[in-house]
Structures are given as structure tokens and as C-alpha cells.
Amino acid sequence: MKKQRRQETKPPAQTAPAAVWWRPPWWYWLIGLGALFLVFEAYGPALHSPFVLDDLYLPYAEAPAPATLLQWVTLQRPLLMFSYWVDYQMGASDPHVYHTTNVLLHFILSIVVMFIAARLLEWVGVSGNMLKALAVFSGALFLLHPLQTESVAYVASRSEVLSVLFYYSAFAVFIYSNRDSMTWLRAISVLLLFGAAAATKEHTLTFPALILLTDFYWGRGGLRKNGVLYALLALACAAGGVVVWKVLLASNTAGFNMADLSPASYFFTQCRVIWIYVRMFFLPFGQNIDPDIPVSTGLLDQGAVFGLIALVAVTVAAFIYRKRWPLASFGVFVFLLLIAPTSSVIPIRDVLAERRVYLPFIGLVLIALEFLRRLQFGPAVAACAAAVIASTALTYQRSNVWSSPLTLWQDSVAKSPQKMRPRFHLAFAQYQLGDCATAAGNYEVASRLESPDYRLLVDWANALDCAGREDDAAIQFNRAIHLNGASAEAYVGLSAVYGKQNKLDEALKVLARAEAFDPGIAQIYVNRGGVYTMLGNNASAIKEYRRALAIDPSNPTAREALRRMGQ
């Protein structure tokens, strides 16, 4: 008896699909307006949040900021910097403008997700009201899922939102192309969008691999039909790869220059971290801006081997059942591909960050759609509505955490009590609010969690000085000087403490050292003017205050001192 030929398990190619939603009815616009209102409500608490973390080191926070558009876009990630330049023209350093732009970009991106989901649902035979409901759900889930809050509420994560907008748009243009050929116009459109994504953030270089995966998984023509596009993408990707390689070799926060985090250790750790991301998608709790994740130094450390086995098992199952569960199978491959730049073998100092799920999020959405499309229409809509309502409530709750640096770091300290960095940032937030005694206490706790560096010691000393503990402040300033004697900041702070203690000769000595290291600090001359005033040497004091104003014409202390002295 002859053996029956094994049936091909490749997902079936779809023929001549109808265009989806190019002319939506009027009530789709109402849904869009409702979604726009809803997302601004959900992120409302975070819209007026001050800048935090890396927000403070971007060009718009500099004094002065770059003067011309050319100076902005010649920095790293030119399109990202262009978006910041636009915001700067509208609101300078007003955080609300930057937060609002993030939310608007996120909203536009959710529409792109809806179109991508509609096309893929169509390919597996979903049609009619079920297709429309599930596509709208896909966009709504992307828009309102609490796992997205870090990417949207954190201004520095504009790099995620903007790069993924270009990335997903390029993918949408590709999958809406004619199956039989790839025109030059469409190929160039895809290439330009991919180039824009790469010029915004480097992790988008996975795009050519996504196109290859889509082409062969869904039988969309392969190299013969899309050769023009592949040739263009190969050239662009090669150029981008050279740039990324140079960045990785030079960086001390991502790449191969970290002696304490090897590629193997990072990979073993990511075998666990990836499952945390997946859990936070399906069960969104325990979000934390600075989680305390122990590093797996070996395959058996921290259970990394079980995470690796599970990843291999899921990948194999996705391949075996690619015909029976095509959306879920494709979603698994897409998720693993798009998260690979940050969760593979290239070490990154922070081993887990919620914003890294923003790009691969669509893979998890496709897995959810696979199960929803198998339900009856009524139960499917009810499940989608329940998921969106719950997500909105959780996003609003998480946005409240992002409403101020104080609440953000209080939340992180509660969840990572043994980690130094959240405690340090909490202390700084308290110091900025004038709660100096509490800040000093948290700086002390931070110093016990990890060996204190120069920055911690100086900030701790400032908090102690503010709290009226001058002797303790002097001790910490001197510790900072011992660690980094070539920095003027600690000398300036110590001079203020000596002035309060009436140690005027010592104050003048440390100010002379500060000036030797950096004569361009206005506070040196403000403090020296104060010392001379205490000594009754008004002529020298006036001279010092004027030197301070020559450096910083708006310095309020120097201006007020000169006013009191009749100058």
C-alpha cells in the first residue's frame, strides 16, 4: 500500500483579497474620535508630568538648547531630534507639549495597527463584522494597554513611538501591495519609511527580516516577485548595520564594553525576561520603571534553563502548528524577531525595560486574535470590550504613577527596595520638593545599598546642608572630593557649608580650588562674594558678584546682592 503524500502545512495563500476600509463609513470616524478622547483621558495624569531620567539630558533641556534646526538633526537619531525640535518651537521646555505629542503619535500608530490586523485577519478567512470588530480591538488594545505607558509617558521613549510608527507603516504598505508584483513606487515607499524608522532608532533594522518572514510565511511571492524591494532593503540595512556596530563598540551602556555583563550572561537573563514581558501583556501587574532583575551568569542560574526550554518549545510548536494556528504561529515568530535586538546576546545595562515591548507588541496581539477569531461574534465582542475596559483602567492607574517624579520613584522603591538607583532618584525628587530631611535619609539608605559614587555623595551633601546638618554635609562633600578631586561642584558646595559655619578662610581656599578646575561656574563668584560681604570687604564682594553676572546674567542671588549694595 502506497504511503499517502504528506500534506503541505504552509499557511494557505489568500487570493485577490478585497481592499479593507479605504472608505470607512461615518461611524468609524466617531469611533476614532472616541478613541482619541479616551487615550487622552487615560494618559491625563501624566500629561503634565515633569521630565524624568533621560528626559533631562535631551537637547530641549539644555541651557541653551541647540539654536538651529541643522544643529538638532545632526545629532544622533535625526528624525527623533527633528520631532523634539518641532515641540521646542511650540513650547520650549514645557513638558506638556512633549507629552501631548507622544500621545498623538501613539494614537496614529494604533490606527496603523488596526489596518495591519485587518489585513492579516483577512488572510486567514475572517470577514464581515468579525473582521471589523477584531481589527478595532487590535488598535484599541495597542492604544490603551498599560504595558505601553512607559513608552508613551516617558518623553525620552519618543524614540520607541516614532520609530515604530514608521516601522509599522512600512509593514502596512508592504502587506497591502499586490501579491503578483512589487512596483517601484511601492518599493521606494517601503524603503523610505524603513529609512525613517532606522533614522529614529536602531532596533528597527529587523525590518528586512520581518518582510522575508511575511513573504515566505504567507506565500507572497518571495525573491522573484519582490526582488526590487529586497535589493533596496539590503543596501539600506548594510549601511545601518555599520552605524549600529560603531555605536555598540563605543557605548558603555549597550554593547560589548561591559566587563560585568557578558553576551552569554545577558542571553541567559533574557531567557527569563522575555517571559516577564509576555506575562505583563496577558496579566499586566507589577510594572516598574526600574525593576530589580538578577542576572543569570549561567544556564542553571535563576532558572534560565527553564525559560530557554520554554522558548524553544513554543517556537517548535509555532512551526508545527503553523497551518492550524496561522495567526498565533506568525505572532510568535514576529514577537521573537522584533524583540531580538534588545533580548538576545547584545548586552544592555538595564536587562528589562517595559518600553522594549512596544515594537514586538503586535506579535502578542496576533496571538490573542488567533483565539478570539474562533469564538462566536457575541462572546468575541464581549471579551474584546472587557479587555479594553480593564486595560484603560489600568493605564489610567499607571499614568497616575507617572504624574510626578515623586510618585514614580515611590512606586519603584516599593517594588525594588534593595536597588540603589530608585532610592537615589526618590531622594532627589524629595530634595527638589524641599523635603530635605527625608531626602537625606534616603540618600543614606542608597549609600548602604551600593558603594556611593561622586554624584550620590554631592547630592546627599546638598540635602544635608538644606536640612541644617552642616557638619554632616561637610563630611560628604569631602568624601566626594576624595573620590573625584578634579570636579569643582563639591568644592563649591563645601564653600557654602564653611560660610554657614563661619569658616571663612577655609571657604576661600576651597573656592580657589574650584576656580582652578572650572572658572566658568557662576556660583563660585556668588559664594566668594558672600564670603567677602561677611568679611566687610564690599569692594571685593561687588567685583565677585559682577564676575558671576558676566557668566550668568540672570543669576538672582548676584543681582539681589548688588541691589542691596546700591549697585
Angle at 338 between CA 217 and CA 158, to 5 degrees: 135
Contact assessment for residue 256 and residue 248, using Cβ atoms and an 8 Å cutoff:
yes
Length of the chain: 567
Q: What is the pLDDT of residue 10?
A: 52
Residue 8's pLDDT is what? 44
pTM of the entire predicted model? 0.90
What pLDDT shows up at residue 410?
Answer: 98
Give the HSE-up count for residue 147: Cα atoms under 13 Å, Cβ half-sphere: 25
Query: How would DSSP label each residue in 377-427?
Result: HHHHHHHHHHHHHHHHHHHHHHHHHTTSHHHHHHHHHHH-TT-HHHHHHHH
Q: List the one residue out of 234, 210, 214 whose CA is nearest residue 338.
A: 210
Q: Are the C-beta atoms of 128 and 135 separated by less than 8 Å?
A: no
Tell me what pLDDT residue 497 has. 95
User: Which of 32, 27, 91 lies closest to 61, judged by CA?
Assistant: 91
Phi, psi angles (nearest 5°) of residue 348: -130, 135
Q: Check residue 139 and give its pLDDT.
A: 96
Looking at residue 1, its pLDDT comes to 41
The whole-angstrom separation of Cα 502 and Cα 522 is 22
Task: Please name the fold of domain 504-567.
Answer: 1.25.40
Q: Is the CB of residue 233 less than 8 Å from the CB of residue 195? A: no
Domain with CATH 1.25.40.10 in the chain: 504-567
Of 352, 321, 320, nearest to 339 by C-alpha is: 352
pLDDT of residue 11: 57
pLDDT for the residue numbered 80: 95
The pLDDT of residue 71: 87
Give the pLDDT score at 220. Answer: 66
- Which long-range CB contacts under 8 A does 472-476 form with residues at least 24 apart? 472/440, 473/497, 474/498, 474/501
C-alpha Rg value of the chain to the nearest Å: 28
The C-alpha atoms of residue 98 and residue 46 are separated, in whole angstroms, by: 11
Contact 140, 388 (CB under 8 A): yes
The pLDDT value recorded for residue 248 is 67
Please report, in angstroms and rounded to a whole number, the separation of the first and last CA atoms in the chain.
110
- pLDDT tens string, the chain, 567 residues long: the values are 444 444 444 555 544 444 444 466 667 778 888 899 999 999 999 998 999 888 888 988 887 788 888 888 887 889 999 999 999 999 888 999 999 999 999 999 999 999 999 999 999 999 999 999 999 999 999 999 999 999 999 999 999 999 999 999 999 999 998 766 677 888 889 999 999 999 999 889 899 999 989 988 987 666 667 777 777 787 777 777 777 777 666 666 777 777 788 999 999 999 999 999 999 999 999 999 999 999 999 999 999 999 999 999 999 999 999 999 999 999 999 999 999 999 999 899 899 999 999 999 999 999 999 999 999 999 999 999 999 999 999 999 999 999 999 999 999 999 999 999 999 999 999 999 999 999 999 999 999 999 999 999 999 999 999 999 999 999 999 999 999 877 899 999 999 999 999 999 999 999 999 999 999 999 999 999 999 999 999 999 899 999 999 999 988 998 988 888 877
119: cell is 489585513
Q: Are 225 and 19 in contact (CB under 8 A)?
A: no
Cβ partners under 8 Å of residue 23, min gap 6: none
